[in-house]
Structure 1
Amino acid sequence: MTSRVTLISPAITPSLRRARFDDGDSIEDSAAVRAGSAAVPLAASGRVYVSPSVRCRETASALGLDASEQPELSGLDVGRWRGRALEEVGADEPDAVARWLADPGAAPHGGESVRELCARVVRWWETTGAADGRTVAVVEPEVVRAVVGHVLGAPEAAFWRVDVPPLTATEFTGRAGRWNLRVGHVLSSPQDDTGR
């Protein structure tokens, strides 16, 4: 049987707008309105999951999705960098940031490495995410990056080369070992849908 998985990135937050590591802030009011008017194709019998962050839960709610929290879909734990601006951390710890961006196994912030995040997300993908039928999940951008890298067989070093804009859908269709990928589909309101 074929699986169809749609991963939706969360709406924009003040932290994201200021290039700050997530600090648990809420999505912006205008983003909630945009999400509320978006068309989310979801079969009534499909599975719906959400990352446990505030921004993912609020986005799922604004999209009208009754989602089950999945701890495995948590964003990257950046330890002591949480809530700080990337520019500020880069000025204070340039070598640590450079190592973190270049080495998937590095965690100079005291949190989780990209390698650890990818391993966690792939375990979820292989046991839950890629089950037969339809799955929709509102997840952190780094979760989308991890799944894209996994299904394409990309090296871990490619992780930071995948951009995941707010309120976009990344769709996977197929089954284990054979996936088709549609990236960056912007969620739109039904009246904006052009039928593409």
Structure 2
Amino acid sequence: MTCRVIFISPASSSSLRRARFDDGDPLDEAGAAQAAAAAGQLRAPGRAFVSPSVRSGQTAAALGLDAVAERALAGLDVGRWRGRTLDEVAAAEPSELARWMADPDAAPHGGESVRDLCGRVAGWLAEDGESDGRTVAVVEPEVVRAVVVQVLGAPESAFWHVDVPPLAATEISGRSGRWNLRVGRVLGPSD
């Protein structure tokens, strides 16, 4: 049987709108409304997971998913940059930020490297992502990027070339080693 996993990025939050590294803030009013409007657009999955972040949990709840928090699907740990905007980090640590965005092994913030995140997500796909049937996972955008890199067999340096808008559905089907990727659907009110 084919395994199908649909990854949904969370609705918007203050952090996302301000290009701030997530600091645990909730969905903003517009994001909550967008997530509520998208409720009912997903067929009931056999399993549902969620990144252990506030905005992912709130998005999953608004979509009507009874999701289990999964540590392996947590967003990228940005260490001491958590809660700071990209502009703040660029002004205070320009060479460290440039190195981090150019080198998938770099973790100048004291957190996790892009390569480590991609490896963690690949491990989840190889183990938990192999269940038959439909799985829905509401995950941070960087987890979706890691999934795309893994499924396409792209180098981790491609990570920053994947844009993930709020409430985007990225679907994979198949099995580890032979995944197909479907991109481009954003959840929202029906036309």
TM-score by length of 1: 0.93
| 2:52 and 2:74 in contact (8 A); partners too | yes
Q: Which residue of 1 aligns with 2:110?
A: 110
Q: CA RMSD of the aligned region, Å? A: 1.1
- Per the TM alignment, residue 108 of structure 1 is displaced from its structure 2 partner at its CA by 0.2
Q: Which residue of 2 aligns with 1:41?
A: 42
Question: After superposition, where does 1:3-14 map in structure 2 within 5 Å?
Answer: 3-14=3-14
Question: What does the per-residue CA deviation read over 1:64-109, in whole Å, with 9 as the maximum and x for residues that have no partner?
Answer: 1110110111100000000001011101111000000000000000
Q: Which runs of 5+ in 2 are unaligned?
A: none
More displaced 10-residue stretch of structure 1: 146-155 or 28-37: 28-37
- Per the TM alignment, residue 185 of structure 1 is displaced from its structure 2 partner at its CA by 0.7
Q: Confirm or deny that 1:99 pairs with 2:99.
A: yes
Q: Confirm or deny that 1:86 pairs with 2:86.
A: yes
- Per the TM alignment, residue 168 of structure 1 is displaced from its structure 2 partner at its CA by 0.7
Q: Which residue of 2 aligns with 1:72?
A: 72
Question: After superposition, where does 1:1-196 map in structure 2 within 5 Å?
Answer: 1-38=1-38, 39-43=40-44, 46-189=46-189, 191-192=190-191
Q: Secondary structure at the match of 1:37?
A: helix
- Per the TM alignment, residue 40 of structure 1 is displaced from its structure 2 partner at its CA by 3.0
- Per the TM alignment, residue 42 of structure 1 is displaced from its structure 2 partner at its CA by 2.4
Specify the code of the residue in structure 2 equivalent to 1:23. Answer: D
- Per the TM alignment, residue 187 of structure 1 is displaced from its structure 2 partner at its CA by 0.3
| 1:169 and 1:187 in contact (8 A); partners too | yes
| 2:125 and 2:176 in contact (8 A); partners too | no
- Per the TM alignment, residue 173 of structure 1 is displaced from its structure 2 partner at its CA by 1.5
- Per the TM alignment, residue 121 of structure 1 is displaced from its structure 2 partner at its CA by 0.9
| 1:146 and 1:159 in contact (8 A); partners too | yes
Q: Percent identity?
A: 66
Question: What does the per-residue CA deviation read over 1:18-46, in whole Å, with 9 as the maximum and x for residues that have no partner?
Answer: 111001100012211221121432235x1
Q: Distance in 1 between matches of 2:44 and 2:174?
A: 17
TM-score by length of 2: 0.96
Q: Which runs of 5+ in 1 are unaligned?
A: none
Pair 138,23 (structure 1): closer, same or farther in 2 beyond 3 Å? same
- Per the TM alignment, residue 182 of structure 1 is displaced from its structure 2 partner at its CA by 1.2
| 1:164 and 1:184 in contact (8 A); partners too | no
| 1:42 and 1:136 in contact (8 A); partners too | no
Q: Secondary structure at the match of 2:75?
A: coil
